[in-house]
Amino acid sequence: MDFAKLCIENFAWIIYIMELIYNLQKFELILAKGLEPSVRFARITRKVGGNEPCPCGSGKKYKRCCGANI
């Protein structure tokens, strides 16, 4: 491997490490401010309301059946 390729490869690693440090500093700044990082969760199934029939099939309302334990 010639010297130029070695320099380019090392430079790429240096840039990668600098990006990691920058992102870590941003994350620490977010945590220091008491803010949580913005992460969104998508529901796979829709949320069951308390007055809807229980999805277990008992015929009771969700809040009186499986939702009573939550």
Q: What is the pLDDT of residue 45?
A: 75
pLDDT at position 36: 64
| DSSP 3-state of 51 | coil
Count Cα atoms within 13 angstroms, Cβ side, for 49. Answer: 2
Structure tokens at 46: 């829709």
Q: Which helix (DSSP H) or strand (DSSP E) does residue 17 occupy?
A: helix 3-32
Q: Consecutive 10-residue runs of the chain (70 residues): their mean pLDDT?
A: 84 90 84 69 78 88 83
The structure tokens listed for 26 are 């941003």
What pLDDT score does 18 carry?
Answer: 92
Task: Provide CB contacts within 8 A for 30, sequence distance 6+.
Answer: 36, 37
Q: Give the per-residue pLDDT at 43.
A: 75
Rounded to whole angstroms, the Cα distance separating 21 from 70 reads: 41
